[in-house]
Amino acid sequence: MFDVMAQRDPHLFVHSGDVVYADGPLEETVTLPDGRIWRNIVTEAKSAVAQTLDEYRGQYAYNLSDDNYRRFNASVAQIVQWDDHETVNNWYPGEILDLEQYTEKNVDVLAGRAFQAFHEWNPLDPTEAVDGRVYRAIPYGPLLDVFVLDMRSYKDVNGTNTGVAGQILGSEQARWLIDSLAASTATWKIIAADLPIGLVVPDGDTAFEGVANGDNGLPSGRENDIAQVLSAIKARGITGTVWLTADVHYTAAHHYSPERAAFTDFVEFWEFVSGPLNAGGFGPNDLDGTFGPEAVFVHAPPESNSSPLDGFEHFGEVFIDGDTRQLRVDLLDATGAVLFTQVLEPPA
């Protein structure tokens, strides 16, 4: 897939996270349900979950053993954010693991090591980040600003995700995002989010990993942070916002409208989901009606943990026309075939 993407000569690559699977040890062979064999190259770092700093570093070194990945990195500018697998699946600050394969149970300790390795191996200058970590704004000419979020470092516990409290951005990042969007003069303001807004992403049977909590009602729990941002976008007359995300392992185009929503104090917008680049395919996830999402397009495997051989690996492309200022989003599969296209007109 990295070869396919490189051949399209992109100007910029927005990586929505899960750059590595630090919690995913590899086996040399995996027998698929139909009898085919998937083969992996296994290094020492990829033979167990990462816990030490050197083991986290080894996850990024492993990626760079691939020729296509190295060629892509050498030719395409990148904006990188992190999600959960750079540390451990579905993590949140303060978590204490109950997983037997981990001798270090304190996720804050693991996240500190993961964070150092992430910065050592990715083109991210900590001085560009507002708090020295991940979230930041990247100007890209008069037509585009990219706002990179960190929906990992400030989230609350993966619980029922209800009530007046709850956060996914935290107050400081939410305020920064609102003020930065308002100050932007770019035609298009892409918000690079590492978690989708309206998809219900569970963490076990009773807890939630992402923003949505599945109750379809007024904002509750982590949804309060997103409601604050969406209301401010409307109140401050901010135009041209488009949300890009991944996390879930399929591709989709979601249109959010107050006409369908329980919470109505926002203007309609689009969210485009695309992934994974080379991992098991899952989905689709249920939609939560709080912000009125509609799944206009979905391409997901019929069975969970679908092999990359099965054709459910995806990436997205965004084109901005320099003359018309139109923005076009294509959702593609690993061969480069376009599965879906949506054209957005520039703000008046």
Could you identify the residue written with the tokens 């007046």? 164
Confidence (pLDDT) at 223: 98
Confidence (pLDDT) at 133: 87
Chain CA centroid to CA 80, Å: 10
The torsion angle over the Cα atoms of residues 125, 150, 251 and 255, rounded to 10 degrees, is: -120
H-helix or E-strand spanning residue 141: none
Q: Report the distance separating Cα 159 and Cα 161, nearest Å.
A: 5
Confidence (pLDDT) at 250: 97
Residue 142 is classified by DSSP as T
> 234 with 266: CB under 8 angstroms?
yes
From 314, 253, 252, 254, select the one nearest 281 (Cα to Cα).
Answer: 314
| DSSP letters for 304-320 | TTB-GGGS--EEEEEEE
Residue 144: phi, psi to the nearest 5? -150, 130
Confidence (pLDDT) at 210: 96
Confidence (pLDDT) at 348: 87
Residue 281 is classified by DSSP as B
Confidence (pLDDT) at 125: 86
Task: Give the 3-state secondary structure of residue 134.
Answer: coil
Count helices and strands in the chain by DSSP H and E runs: 6, 16
Q: What is the pTM of this model?
A: 0.97
Confidence (pLDDT) at 132: 86
Could you identify the residue written with the tokens 């920064």? 176
Q: How many CA atoms lie within 13 A of 255 on its CB side?
A: 10
What is the maximal distance between C-alpha atoms in the chain? 57
What class does CATH assign to 2-344?
A: alpha beta
Give the length of the chain: 348
Q: Give whole-number Cα distances, 92 to 66, 106, 168, 174, in Å.
A: 31, 11, 10, 18
Confidence (pLDDT) at 14: 97
| DSSP letters for 18-64 | --S-TT----SEEE-TTS-EEE----SGGGS---SHHHHHHHHHHHT
Chain CA centroid to CA 6, Å: 20
Going from N- to C-terminal start, the domains of the chain cover 2-344
> 105 with 38: CB under 8 angstroms?
no
Q: Report the distance separating Cα 136 and Cα 114, nearest Å.
A: 19
Question: What beta strand segments (E) does the chain contain?
Answer: 12-15, 29-31, 37-39, 77-80, 136-139, 144-148, 188-192, 202-203, 207-208, 241-245, 251-256, 269-273, 293-299, 314-320, 327-333, 338-344
Confidence (pLDDT) at 265: 98
Q: What is the pLDDT along the chain (348 residues), one digit of tens a residue?
A: 999 999 999 999 999 999 999 999 999 999 999 999 999 999 999 999 999 999 999 999 999 999 999 999 999 999 999 999 999 999 999 999 999 999 999 999 999 999 999 999 998 888 889 988 899 999 999 999 999 999 999 999 999 999 988 999 999 999 999 999 999 999 999 999 999 999 999 999 999 999 999 999 999 999 999 999 999 999 999 999 999 999 999 999 999 999 999 999 999 999 999 999 989 999 899 999 999 999 999 999 998 999 999 999 999 999 999 999 999 999 999 999 999 999 999 998
> 250 with 282: CB under 8 angstroms?
yes
Chain CA centroid to CA 294, Å: 19
